[in-house]
Amino acid sequence: MNESQIIQTLSGWNFWDRQLPTGKPRVYCKTARRYIKSKSNIRVVNSGIRRSGKTTLARQTVKTMLDKGLDVKNTLIINFEEPAFAETLNLNLLTKVYESYRNILEPDRTPIIVFDEIQEIPKWEKFVRSLQEKNEAKLIVTGSSSALLSGEFATVLTGRTVEINMHPLSFSEYLAFFDMEFKTKADLILKKNQVLKMLRQYMEFGGFPEIALETDDVLKSEITRKIYDDILFKDIVKRWSIKNIGKLETVSRYYTSNISSPITFNRISKFLNIPVKTVEIYSKYIEKSDLIFFVKRFSFSVKEQENSPRKVYSIDTGIVNSTGFRFRENHGHLMENIVAVHLKIKKFLENPLMDFYYYKDYSQNEVDFVVKDGLKVSQLIQVCYDIENPDTKERELKALIKASRELKCDDLVVITWDYEANEVFKSKNISYTPLWKWLLS
């Protein structure tokens, strides 16, 4: 392939002679743009679960810079899943593509270069490191977390690098996909029934962008299962050379069937009759793919934290409903999962010093989330679908008050489906907040 052919192939991925679709702006776009505009030569790495919008975010970042006056010849987007490159995915191709761009587009300032799905190129990190060390380009690298964050690539992701770990759509982004805007408090209240309907849909089918845009419910589930299978086979089996695929699928399905529940590797090993070491290794791979994440039990003792069961959450409730074992509706666990993902995104975008845990004492009193801000426990959160059930309310509040006194925290929140109130219980103020309102606050 000569230089002209390379540029012709690349033109479909670039803004050089056309406008490309960029979709709805994501919450991560502002962060990516800030680092690309920085005078420091910082690599931006868009990682995260497959099909979460990493490529779209890179394109949005480039488009915002073009809108600010950057000349199109100073941008280059290379997608390494381009079929024309399939037979020659190596460093020589990477070098040839870069040289072709330099020779034909003739950038007149430091260009922004997007390496999309760069993990397809063996030893790509050497080329990227060289470009950065010579200050030849502003770099955006995209790829699956399992590839970009694996051991052999760790060196390229140190130093002047910021990672943007992308998730499926948050609920506010999900509503934006349907052009739902709330300019005033009254506007939000007037559209409440519509928002609740959208929340049920979000809880059932999740927030992958292409799922949000699909109108057929059967197709939504089929596409979600396809995404799940691609993650298992392309990001885990292929990446880590898994031989016993059946056991991997069993462990993964165990997790998607038991979201918002405490787990231990020993317990899973006995339940599934799989060696505990295998469970531990497969769990690490599944976590690295961003399918699931774990939340530790809160304790003032690090040793106790590490030795206690962890609670497992899925990155997307659509995956849970499409792949997990279901024998009844479990709105409470799905709501709790949505809250966990929201806290995870909030930690990255708003407050890196924030951490969150679950609380459980020796009397089995449990609080879903302990939010810790720096050295201080700043908030305690219970998630309850049906708080108006007297027995449920008594159990949830008893645990909340116990944790409040032990952890010296008075900001107590109960996230409900649609119940809203402020009440005093055993001299403590309790704020009951609907899930939809909490997610949009």
Q: Would you list the DSSP string of 209-220?
A: HHHHH---HHHH
How confident is the model at residue 157, as a pLDDT? 53
Q: Show Cβ contacts of residue 75 under 8 Å, excluding neighbours closer than 6 positions.
A: 14, 15, 16, 62, 65, 66, 111, 112, 113, 114
Shared-domain flag, residues 117 and 217: no
Same domain flag for 100 and 205? no
The CA–CA distances, whole Å, from 17 to 12, 13, 14, 58, 65 equal 9, 10, 8, 18, 16
User: pLDDT at position 183, please?
Assistant: 81
Q: Burial level of 293, CB count in 10 A (0-12/13-18/19+)?
A: middle
Q: How many domains does the chain have?
A: 2
| 219 and 360 belong to one structural domain | yes
Whether residue 193 is contained in a domain is answered as: no
Question: According to the model, what pLDDT value does residue 150 have?
Answer: 54
Are 71 and 205 members of one domain?
Answer: no
Give the single-character DSSP code of 237.
Answer: I
Does 349 lie in the same domain as 277?
yes
Domain identity same for 253 and 130: no
Query: Given the structure tokens 């032990």, which residue do they identify?
Result: 406
Give yes or no: residues 160 and 62 share one domain: yes
Closest to 98 (Cα-Cα) out of 150, 152, 134, 146: 134
> Within a domain: residue 81?
yes
What is the layout of strands, in order, in the sheet containing 43-48? 75-79, 112-116, 138-142, 43-48, 161-166
Element containing residue 136 per DSSP (H, E): none
Is 184 a member of any domain? no
Q: Is residue 268 part of a domain?
A: yes
pLDDT at 162: 86
By C-alpha distance, which of 85, 78, 145, 151 is closest to 118? 78
Residue 373 is which amino acid? D
Do residues 36 and 147 both lie within one domain?
Answer: yes
pLDDT of residue 198: 97
Q: What is the pLDDT along the chain (441 residues), one digit of tens a residue?
A: 899 999 999 999 999 999 999 999 999 999 999 999 888 878 888 999 999 999 999 999 999 999 999 999 999 999 999 999 988 999 999 999 999 999 999 999 999 999 998 888 888 888 988 898 898 999 999 987 666 655 445 555 556 788 899 999 999 999 999 999 888 888 888 899 999 999 999 999 999 999 999 999 999 999 999 999 999 999 999 989 999 999 999 999 999 999 999 999 999 999 999 999 999 999 999 999 999 999 999 999 999 999 999 999 999 999 999 999 876 778 999 999 999 999 999 999 999 999 999 999 999 999 999 999 999 999 999 999 999 889 999 999 999 999 999 999 999 999 999 999 999 999 999 999 999 999 998
Q: What per-residue confidence (pLDDT) applies to 146?
A: 65
38 closest CA partner among 166, 161, 165, 157: 161
Residue 103, both tokens: 């020779």
> Which pLDDT belongs to residue 73?
98
Domain membership of residue 183 (yes or no) is: no
Are the C-beta atoms of residues 402 and 162 closer than 8 Å to each other? no
The CATH number of the domain holding residue 161 is 3.40.50.300
**How far apart are the C-alpha atoms of 253 and 150, rounded to whole Å?**
23
Report the alpha-carbon distance of residue 330 to residue 203 in Å, rounded: 11
The one-letter code for the residue type at 106 is E
Look up residue 184 and give its DSSP letter.
S
Count Cβ atoms within 10 A of the Cβ of residue 149 and give its class: 0-12 exposed, 13-18 middle, 19 or more buried: middle
Domain that holds residue 80: 3-166
- Model confidence, pTM: 0.94
Look at residue 322 and tell me if it is in a domain.
yes
User: Is 119 inside any structural domain?
Assistant: yes
Domain membership of residue 316 (yes or no) is yes
Same-domain status, 137 and 216: no
Claim to verify: residue 434 and residue 383 sit in the same structural domain: yes
Sheet with 421-425, side-by-side order of all strands:
354-360, 366-373, 376-383, 412-416, 428-434, 421-425
Both 376 and 230 in a single domain? Answer: yes
Q: How many CB atoms lie within 10 A of CB 349?
A: 14
User: What is the distance, to the nearest Å, from the Cα of residue 197 to the centroid of all Cα atoms in its chain?
Assistant: 23
Give the count of beta carbons closer than 10 Å to the beta carbon of residue 196: 15
Give the Cβ contact number of residue 209 at 10 Å.
Answer: 19
CA pair distance 137, 155, nearest whole angstrom? 19
Print the SS3 string covering 92-110: HHHHHHHHHHHHHHCCCCC
Do 212 and 105 share a structural domain? no
Q: How far is CA 231 from CA 122, 219, 295, in A?
A: 20, 18, 22
